[in-house]
Structure 1
Amino acid sequence: MVDPGRGEAPGRGRIGRRIGRRGLLTAGASTVALGAVGWQVAPPQYAERLRTGLGIGPEAFVPDDPEGEVRVERVTSQAMGGVDLFTAVPAGHGDGAGLPVVVVLHGSSASAAALRDFGLGRFVTAAVRAGAPPFVLAGTDDGPAGWVADGRVDPPRMLRDELPGWLAERGFDAERRALWGWSRGGYGALRFALDEPAWAAGLALFSPAIGPGDPLLGDLAPLAGLPWGLWCGSWDPFRDGAAALAETAPVAPDPWVTGDGGHTRAYWNDHTLEMLDWLTGTLPPA
């Protein structure tokens, strides 16, 4: 298991020095006092929630590296109707022609158009500059029920049958792809990988929105042949579900990263560089 305080997966030391940074609490004596009291009278998860609710929680880390070519385009989907398509190419790699793709499934409070605001274009450049093989990050919108079909729209069909074509049209190597999702997107990525285990070369899950009794845990056999990693903070409300997933899977996640943190962008961003370093390593060579 990885010690998130160190920020490195076993044997993946190329970017450890870049992923241990945390945002600072808002300056001021009141902040220091609240932090001290919170840790003395309440478990860490409650103190964290209190600080976050008062607007003094840790800021999410975003690298200083520049964006490359970042686009949000409207595309027409037979399975979904109109959706936004986000793509981010690392700085110095032009339009990304020939690069493999990491597909990201966002959580319930996000959208494809919001991915740039999360700093993901900068993360792409930072990961490549730290030693990850060059890649493109791509993501679309989900549906009203998330990344599962609900009778009106069919996100899995869109991912399977349409997204590779959109990526190929833009010059990317759509046949070399990996999958990453967080929160509701983590649940969707897991479910999609179980249905389509050959679609992605690797699977990374951040705090998947799954409980320990979820029916999805009943048949995890397709994970046996898929490299997959799992990240979930110790204070995350889905921590028990993540632990059940790790214990039930036919092959344990590697890496399996926990440690201090909740269901927050601050925790996820702290681990995004190490995750991209690992996930891009699952992509086959050109």
Structure 2
Amino acid sequence: MSRRVALAGLALGALTACGEPEPQPSAPGPPAVPPPPGPAPLTDPVTVQREHSAARGREVDLVLIVPEGVAAAGLPVCLALHGRGASARWFLGLGLPAMLTEVVRSGLPPFAVVAPDGDHYWVDGKRGDDPQRMLSEEVPRWVAGRGLRAPSAALGISMGAFGALRYARDHRDLRAVAACSPALFTSWGDARSRNVFRDRQHWESHEPLRHVDELRPVPVGVWCGTADPFVSAARRFVQAAQPAVAELSPGGHTDRYWKSVLPAILRFAGERLR
């Protein structure tokens, strides 16, 4: 794995006030400062780069994953949103890079997975920190600078599934959204215990279970373990949303379960990114 940090520079220019005479030529000075270089094109299967997110008011990691042996230029992108208490790098520990390479080698057209750092159930939980605005306004610019297309699919695990479903409401042109072990809340009491939402109205405005109709026509996939504490909410979501894929199988809210279903989730997204 290699890491690249996009360098920022300052371009110097000269301003001439309207109506003032042009300055007379002077002795040659130092050469002009070149414009700042853009982000380097991706050449490795995994890169971790730092970006400043104005939407979140902080520096964030941006993890970019492409199938091994595939040129990154022009690939479609699937966003990957991590769970609570984790970070974008968490997907590396789950083995997603090898899984992506394997599903592409099995016959799917290649695509990239891009994971940024998030928090607060991927909504504006704290003043000056809005992960959804980062996803909508900043991530497309960041990935375009690396030669990738704008995100056209999203997947999320736990808190990230909440965020991916929230993202799909504002991006109904998505080809797919996959929710794994979705941390959804059937009541304000459950949601309030997370200390994320400002009040009941704030929670209700974001809760996917209360906005199922706004997901259409995006194809939705749901995966959840039958021993997961969120399985009741997942069942309720499946009943209301009638997703394209719904797999409730043995497992808990654990890395072991997520590793077991991630290949199927990647295939679900990849098949719709054709």
* 1:118-177 per-position Cα deviation (integer Å, ceiling 9, x unaligned): 21111111111122210111110013x231112221100000001011111000122x52
Q: Quick check: 1:132–1:276 contact (8 Å CA) kept in 2? A: no
Counterpart check, 1:124 vs 2:100? yes
Name the residue aligned to 2:249. 259
Distance 2:245 2:82 in 1: 21
Is the radius of gyration larger for structure 1 or structure 2? Answer: 2
Three-state SS of the structure 2 residue aligned to 1:208 is coil
What stretches of structure 1 of length at least 5 have no aligned partner? 1-67
Scaled by the length of structure 1, what TM-score is found?
0.70
Name the residue aligned to 1:77. 53
Distance 1:229 1:114 in 2: 21
Distance 2:132 2:172 in 1: 13
- Structure 2 matches for 1:134-283, cutoff 5 A? 134-143=110-119, 145-150=120-125, 151-174=127-150, 177-198=152-173, 200-213=174-187, 215=204, 216=207, 217-249=209-241, 252-283=242-273
Distance 1:152 1:226 in 2: 29
Counterpart check, 1:112 vs 2:102? no
Q: Quick check: 1:72–1:112 contact (8 Å CA) kept in 2? A: no
Distance 1:213 1:195 in 2: 23
Distance 2:243 2:107 in 1: 23
* 1:198-232 per-position Cα deviation (integer Å, ceiling 9, x unaligned): 3x221000011013336422231122211010000
CA offset at residue 271 of structure 1? Answer: 1.1
Distance 1:248 1:256 in 2: 12
Segments of 4+ moved more than 6 angstroms:
none
The residue type equivalent to 1:261 in the other structure is G
Three-state SS of the structure 2 residue aligned to 1:242 is helix
Q: Which has the higher contact order (CA 8 A, sep 6+)?
A: 1
The residue type equivalent to 1:187 in the other structure is F
Q: Quick check: 1:227–1:254 contact (8 Å CA) kept in 2? A: yes
Three-state SS of the structure 1 residue aligned to 2:93 is coil
What stretches of structure 2 of length at least 5 have no aligned partner? 1-43, 189-203
Between 1:80-89 and 1:218-227, the stretch displaced more is 218-227
CA offset at residue 260 of structure 1? Answer: 0.7
Q: Quick check: 2:49–2:62 contact (8 Å CA) kept in 1? A: yes
The residue type equivalent to 2:172 in the other structure is P
Three-state SS of the structure 2 residue aligned to 1:185 is helix
Distance 2:176 2:224 in 1: 18
Q: For 1:89, which of 55, 66, 83 is the aligned residue?
A: 66
Scaled by the length of structure 2, what TM-score is found?
0.73
Paired residues, number: 212
Q: Quick check: 2:50–2:59 contact (8 Å CA) kept in 1? A: yes
Distance 2:250 2:168 in 1: 28
CA offset at residue 195 of structure 1? Answer: 3.2
CA offset at residue 117 of structure 1? Answer: 2.3
| Root mean square deviation of aligned Cα | 1.7
CA offset at residue 246 of structure 1? Answer: 1.1
Q: Quick check: 1:88–1:138 contact (8 Å CA) kept in 2? A: yes
Distance 1:79 1:223 in 2: 24
Q: Quick check: 1:107–1:183 contact (8 Å CA) kept in 2? A: yes
The residue type equivalent to 1:72 in the other structure is V
